[in-house]
Amino acid sequence: MNTTLPQRLIELSLHSLKNVQNQTFQLNQQNVQQTNSLETQTNALQLKPQPIPLKPKREETIVAAVDTSSMKIGETSTGMLIAVRGATIWKQNRYYKYMRLGPFIFHITEENKKELYNTLQTAYFNHQHERTHHGLINLLQMPTRIANLLERWLQTMLSKTVNNSLILFDGSLTSGTPDTPTQVMKEILNTARKRGNSVLAFSKMTNLRVNGHLITEIVPLHKPPYMLETTGLKPRPPIVLLGDVYVARLTTGNYAFRLDIDKEVFSEQKVEAVEKLLGNDLLSQSYPETLRLSHILCTFTANEVIAMQHFIARKYGLKIVNRPDMHRLLFGPFGKGDGNS
């Protein structure tokens, strides 16, 4: 197993923290987990009216999923402290198993953000892919960026490790974004395909609309499980769609998700992959348990955030200061943070 990225993550994490010793840091006043949502809307999007009915296929198949999470855990006078963690989970012989990487803690400043991201990207992309937008990265975007790098690495490792399995991604198969270069995503899908794996990407949220309605809210009179195929989705360059987009309603109830399936796979194989998912994983509210667990395992709890703050304070002598929250200070109970301003 290639461990280049985690090795680099550790090195950079330790290096960045060394430069922050004995400073003061303020606890993050809005502990919101960073999530990534990047979708491209086109006007020509249509939903095929005829649902594709699905029958659970019990043929024993490994179901594996990847997710990452990032979090800002505090601010220093020069930057911020963030934590990143990733989890791979797989279901085999009716049991779930996991591998969790992290948390990796970074001290990111305006000065080191470029070097840090550059080094990580180099470690992952092996110099062969175009590195873009470094200078444009906003400090606040860094947690998501680093988490995405880790996620791509985990996805690559998973696609190289399992055979004839179902690989579940959190999000879509959209590429061409700064931290998901098309070439990288293509390679992940190619590797997975060559080893007989099927990649299914579930998006918890979507902005794709047909006639003004979200695609996941259009409910045909058909008994689940089924999928609805979309047509006409043409993203603007440099965004590239590497999957066919479906709306999957896999259990009864009003929950449906955008489901991207590798474009290069035959239609029958796509349907079969979802049917194998139905036959091999628990599905609750139309969402696969493996993917849910990968999310649960990498998400930071408040307890873990306190523990990381404790670690930083102990190991690097950072003094926690509690600067007043300006929103609270100015607006009292009405000041609920940036999100509400």
Partner 1 sequence: MKLYKKEGNIIQILSFPNETVEKGNYLLVEDAEAGKALIVQVIDVQFASIPGILEELLRSLPDGGELIQGEDFDPLEIAPHITYIQDASILICKIRATVENESLSPSSSWLPSRSQSTIRKLSIPTLFKLARIDGRLPIVLGGTKDSSLLTIDASSLDGRLNIITGKKETGKSHLSKLLMLNLIGYKATVVVFDLNGEYISLGMTADGKRNAYHDKTHVLTPSQNFKVALKQLNLHVLLEILIHALHLPGTSAREFRRIWQSLKERDMLNLHELGEAIRNWHCNNHVRDALFSRFYALVNSGFFTDNIAEATFLEECLFKAKEQGGAIIINLRNTSPIDRQIVVEYLLGKLVDLLTSWKLKAVFLFAEEAHIYLRETYWDDIVTRMRHFGIFTTFITNQPDTVRENIYRQADNIFLFNFTNENDLEVVSRAARVDAETVKSIARDLPPHQCLVLGKVVKDFPMVVKVKALDVKTMGETRLFFKEMN
Q: Which of 253, 204, 199 is nearest to 224 (CA)?
A: 253
Q: Is the peptide bond before 6 cis (omega within 30 degrees of 0)?
A: no
Nearer to partner 1, 104 or 287 (CB): 104
Sites for partner 1 among residues 216-255 (CB under 8 A): none
Among residues 303, 319, 322, 333, the one that binds partner 1 under rule CB under 8 A: 303
Segment interacting with partner 1 (CB under 8 A) among 95-103, 125-133, 142-150, 266-274: 95-103
Among residues 15, 311, 321, 328, the one that binds partner 1 under rule CB under 8 A: 311
Among residues 28, 45, 78, 96, the one that binds partner 1 under rule CB under 8 A: 96
| Residue 15 found at the interface with partner 1 (CB under 8 A) | no
Nearer to partner 1, 245 or 293 (CB): 293
Nearer to partner 1, 32 or 306 (CB): 306
- Cβ neighbours of 154 (radius 10 Å): 24
Q: Which of 131, 186, 132, 133 is nearest to 156 (CA)?
A: 186
Per-residue CA distances from 294 to 63, 67, 183, 259 (Å) = 12, 6, 25, 17
| Residue 213 found at the interface with partner 1 (CB under 8 A) | no
| Residue 1 found at the interface with partner 1 (CB under 8 A) | no
How far is residue 7's CA from residue 247's CA, in Å, rounded to a whole number? 38
Segment interacting with partner 1 (CB under 8 A) among 39-47, 74-82, 108-116, 295-303: 295-303
Q: Which of 226, 240, 213 is nearest to 45 (CA)?
A: 213
Place of tokens 């628990």: 282
| Residue 13 found at the interface with partner 1 (CB under 8 A) | yes
Sites for partner 1 among residues 184-203 (CB under 8 A): none
Angle between helices 302-316 and 4-18 (to 10 degrees): 60
| Residue 287 found at the interface with partner 1 (CB under 8 A) | no
Among residues 137, 233, 307, 321, the one that binds partner 1 under rule CB under 8 A: 307
Token code pair at residue 3: 């461990």
Among residues 99, 139, 214, 239, the one that binds partner 1 under rule CB under 8 A: 99
How far is residue 76's CA from residue 96's CA, in Å, rounded to a whole number? 39
Closest distance of CB 69 from partner 1, Å? 12
How far is residue 70's CA from residue 148's CA, in Å, rounded to a whole number? 9
Among residues 256, 308, 318, 327, the one that binds partner 1 under rule CB under 8 A: 308
| Residue 105 found at the interface with partner 1 (CB under 8 A) | yes
Among residues 100, 134, 323, 336, the one that binds partner 1 under rule CB under 8 A: 100
Q: Is the peptide bond before 49 cis (omega within 30 degrees of 0)?
A: no
Q: Quick check: 133 and 145 in contact, CB under 8 A? A: no
In the complex, the residues that contact partner 1 under the rule CB under 8 A are 6, 9-10, 13-14, 89, 95-105, 293, 296-297, 299, 301-308, 310-311, 314
